[in-house]
Amino acid sequence: MSSKWRNVRLSEIQDRRVKLTSEKKKEILRKYQTGGCSLRSLAREYNVSHKTIALIVNPETKAKNDQYIKDHWMFYALDSESQRVAHRRTEEYKKRLYQKGELK
């Protein structure tokens, strides 16, 4: 029987895969557009790669990168054992959040 916590989506803050929240992305875009910060300085400030910042501030680069991943997905796919381990860890993490009352 499936537990309630299994079907709940994690918020942006709870999802451990998310490096930058939507608010931080907007802040980065605003800082870059004012001309006061370079891509590399923003990358150092937010502790992410130069490419991550470039994907945020340049929509054409983001679209090109997304298309590349879509065309070459087989190079990014995990093997079945790695997928099982990742899924198990995510399920355990969601269960802990639910037990703490942080997941609704």
**DSSP state, 10?**
P
Q: Which two tokens stand for residue 102?
A: 């942080």
The pTM assigned to this predicted structure is 0.74
- Do 5 and 93 touch, CB atoms closer than 8 A? no
Please report, as a single letter, which amino acid is at residue 75: F
Q: Is the pLDDT of residue 2 over 70?
A: no
* Percent with pLDDT over 90 in the chain: 61
pLDDT confidence band for 12 (50 / 70 / 90)? confident
Q: How many residues does the chain have?
A: 104
pLDDT digits (tens, 9 = 90+) for 73-88: 888 888 999 999 999 9
Q: What is the mean pLDDT of residues 20-39?
A: 93
Of 66 and 13, the structure prediction assigns the larger pLDDT to 66
The whole-chain average pLDDT of the chain stands at 89
Of 76 and 23, the structure prediction assigns the larger pLDDT to 23
Q: How far is CA 68 from CA 40, 58, 64, in A?
A: 23, 16, 6
- Do 5 and 103 touch, CB atoms closer than 8 A? yes
pLDDT digits (tens, 9 = 90+) for 54-75: 999 999 999 999 999 999 988 8
Domain boundaries, the chain: 20-57, 72-104
